[in-house]
Homo-oligomer: A and B are copies of this chain.
Amino acid sequence: MTTAAPDLMHALAEPDAADLARLDAWWRAANYLTIGQIYLRDNPLLHRPLTAADIKPRLLGHWGTSPGLSFIYAHLSRLIRETGQQAIYLAGPGHGGPALVAAGYLEGTYSEIYPRVSQDEEGMLRLFRQFSAPGGIPSHVSVTTPGSIHEGGELGYVLVHAYGAVMDNPDLLAIAVVGDGEAETGPLEGSWKGVSFINPEHDGAVLPILHLNGAKIAGPTVLARKARDEVRSLFAGHGYDVIEVEGDDIPGMHHRFAAALAAAWGKIKSIQDDARNGTWDGVRPTWPMIVLRSPKGWTGPEKVDGIQVTGSWRSHQVPLSGVRDNPEHLALLEKWLRSYRPEELFDATGAPVDAIRELAPRGELRMSASPHANGGVLTQDLDIPDFRDYAVAVQDPGAGRAESTRRLGELMRDIYTRNPYTFRLFCPDETNSNRLGAVFEVSDRGFMESVTDADVKISRAGRVMEVLSEHNCHGWLEGYTLTGRHGMFATYEAFAMVSASQTVQHGKWLQEARNLPWRAKVPSLNVLLTSTAWRNDHNGFSHQGPGLIQVVLTQRGDVARVYLPPDANTLLSVADHCFRSRSYINLIVIDKQPQLQWLTMDEAIEHCERGAGVWEWAGTDDNSTDPDIVLACAGDVVTMETVAAAQILRDKLPGLRVRVVNVVDLMTLVRPKDHPHGMSGTRFTELFTDSVDVVFSFHGYPGAIHQLVHGRPDADRFRVRGFIEQGTTTTPFDMTVRNKVSRYHLVIDAINNSGRLPRGAADLKTWCESQLARHERYVVDNLEDLPEVRDWTLGV
């Protein structure tokens, strides 16, 4: 039962003649502008007959999906104008760019943001020329498109973005148009289950519109060719109430789609009202979705050269491809353009006529102008408690152990409490495993399917998001932050590669957004990787891969941040910084197991502010002159091995001057011209000297350091140890041996590379080699019971 006023529902479902005229005019205008973008370089309003010279020299762009996208947009605009509903529009189909750009232009938003693209003939020409042109705009919905939080480039994420956007956004309706090509991707199929996590009381609603136009680039789609009862069954199985609309007849389709949209909106309001008025039974609602079947390339040329185009994959890109050279095609194009009767749609100056303006809602209710789609303008700073209050007490470096991420969990617990509607943790079922479980003291896991009395910390009121899908977690956080709220995605290091492409694409979004002054900065995408490559006592080689660091390093310096805090206090300082930052990808890597603690909170803060520093207590360097060797490290496990190596050298080769440098902020290694965090040349020399050899132990792949220090003085002197794809089910210490980054390897490296060799060096090398040989024997002979299993510490 709808709770909206019956007369409103009636009006929505049954558009009158004036409604139909506005809908149709708006739709024709949007289609006209779409075709103009693809074809025209001149004569935008067809004030004179079309000539070959009016046509772009190269025809690029995609028509096929666009008329459907515009049709939906028109009807949504009418719904919003009638109801005042706050809504955003996410266009899943890859190449719907011209349709959504046309919509923003008709609503006036485009010209407000890009004044040169004005609502007149000159502006329309600019609109057309910039499309798919060098330095212009792409054929997919992108960062430059007003009203978008979703790039229609890589396919698969439209639903995760929509679901993330409406979490804790009770008044927002996110329309997610899913193309039937995109619907074939794994991430998209896995994202229908968002419905199992949305609470109608404190979340907004997603209305998925599955747009089956039957074809992708070159062939039919699975969902379009499946039996219809299977399609209904599939989405009913996902948990949706399926409303179907089909056809190509006008005005019939306007009537049917208006009725479908009214029914869907009415059902959403009813679900939300029940939940918010206390009349909800607590059972997961069956949310509506619409399946829209309309021809691909709808309203385009039916046949070209005698071959069917509309309704087939042939309309995917440019239906008429020979327009400049083929007079018949040119005539067809003119006929096609004039079929929308542009003279009725735009006045003499080229501005949209009143009928079109009247369809659109006003101000921020226009979907192209929604502040939710430019979330930075809604972003409020998190209320973060003083992270110093969560410090681990450290008397002496390396004297005690703690689970570092547990402290972060406590910090996030209190962030949840202070920011009940603007912070969420997203994690694939590993919050407790990652020692972040303190958050459960103040919030359950959110879950809308049935729960039992035996379940623990899971309820429909929960706001900790656990789903065994990196794609959902990552995508929800993207949607959540792009609409202005804060959060963290915590996952296993090796499996962060599952969603690596999302990290890349979101990074690209943030990079492009930085070039657009009208896009306000949004909260950063914070990614915490635990269960690292180095600690997999019962997991095998498949769980051992620090690949995401490598991925983030490829992004531009104005977006990419990589932190490797070696202990709890540095982690707290880093996390505080990341939660306050904007528009970055912050990658934080730290193990969850009990680990040695090095720095007091004050030391940690100073260390993190500098990003890298000398640990004087660990070395034997008196700073008076250059040391004999620098032992550098980035990452918790390798830091321990480095400190242990320095200790061995101090004990057994006291004449060698060893400097220990720890790096928390990986980007400090880069030259300042390549990354804003890059330390100055002077500071680099202070830490690493200009010429002393550096034995660098790195958490990730060694090649990363080589590329980061490139261009620094005598970069060849950096001898890097790191993860070299050696691993199995084994102890953490054995992992360091297999990857040749153990303390013994580092000592040998130090001796081999130091500028000066005190007496005893040869003996120490021999001793280290014997230690490694002893270890090898142990691994072979005692499969289960190495002392390092229990005793791995500084003094092994």
Contact = CB atoms under 8 A, between A and B. Distances in A.
A58 interface: yes
Given A451-B225, A469-B184, A471-B185, A138 B538 contact: yes
Given A189-B190, A238-B234, A153 B539 contact: yes
A449 B225 contact: yes
Given A153-B542, A537-B60, A539-B140, A466 B729 contact: no
A52 to B, nearest CB: 14
Contacts of A222: 193, 196, 449, 467
B41 A156 contact: no
B132 A538 contact: yes
Interface stretch (A636-644, A747-755, A756-764, A782-790): A782-790
Nearest to A197: B222
Which 8 interchain pairs have the tightest Cβ spacing? A234-B237, A153-B542, A186-B190, A138-B540, A703-B707, A60-B538, A233-B237, A225-B449
A54 interface: no
A237 B542 CA distance: 33
Given A185-B468, A715-B716, 17 more contacts: A132-B538, A134-B731, A134-B784, A135-B728, A135-B734, A184-B469, A188-B190, A220-B451, A220-B458, A225-B449, A498-B501, A508-B541, A550-B551, A550-B554, A555-B725, A703-B706, A703-B708
Interface in A595-610: none
A707 to B, nearest CB: 3
Interface of A: 41, 56-58, 60-61, 129-130, 132-140, 142, 151, 153-156, 181-182, 184-193, 196, 216-222, 225-227, 230-239, 308, 312, 429-433, 445, 447, 449-452, 454-458, 466-472, 494-495, 497-498, 500-501, 504-505, 508-509, 511-512, 537-543, 545, 547, 550-551, 553-556, 701-704, 706-708, 710, 714-716, 724-725, 728-731, 734, 779-780, 783-786, 789-790
A564 to B, nearest CB: 17
Contacts of A498: 154, 156, 185, 187, 501
A218 B431 CA distance: 9
A467 B456 CA distance: 40
A227 B285 CA distance: 12
Nearest to A220: B455
A342 B46 CA distance: 88
A216 B469 CA distance: 12
A598 to B, nearest CB: 26
16 contacts: A57-B790, A129-B783, A138-B543, A181-B468, A184-B467, A186-B470, A186-B471, A225-B451, A233-B236, A234-B237, A237-B237, A312-B454, A497-B501, A511-B541, A511-B725, A703-B706
B472 A186 contact: yes
A451 to B, nearest CB: 7
A384 B533 CA distance: 41
A190 B220 CA distance: 17
A216 B429 contact: yes
Nearest to A738: B135
Contacts of A432: 217-218
A57 B129 contact: no
A505 B540 CA distance: 12
Contacts of A191: 186
B466 A219 contact: yes
A134 B184 contact: no
Contact of A447 (B220, B456, B790): B220
Given A57-B789, A190-B185, A731-B134, A153 B237 contact: no
A734 B729 CA distance: 49
Contacts of A41: 784-785
B139 A729 contact: yes
A467 B218 CA distance: 11
A312 B734 CA distance: 34
A217 B538 CA distance: 15
Nearest to A542: B153
B706 A710 contact: yes
Contacts of A456: 219
A242 B710 CA distance: 58
A192 to B, nearest CB: 8
A505 to B, nearest CB: 6
Nearest to A702: B707
Contacts of A445: 219
A433 B62 CA distance: 14
Contacts of A783: 129-130, 133-136
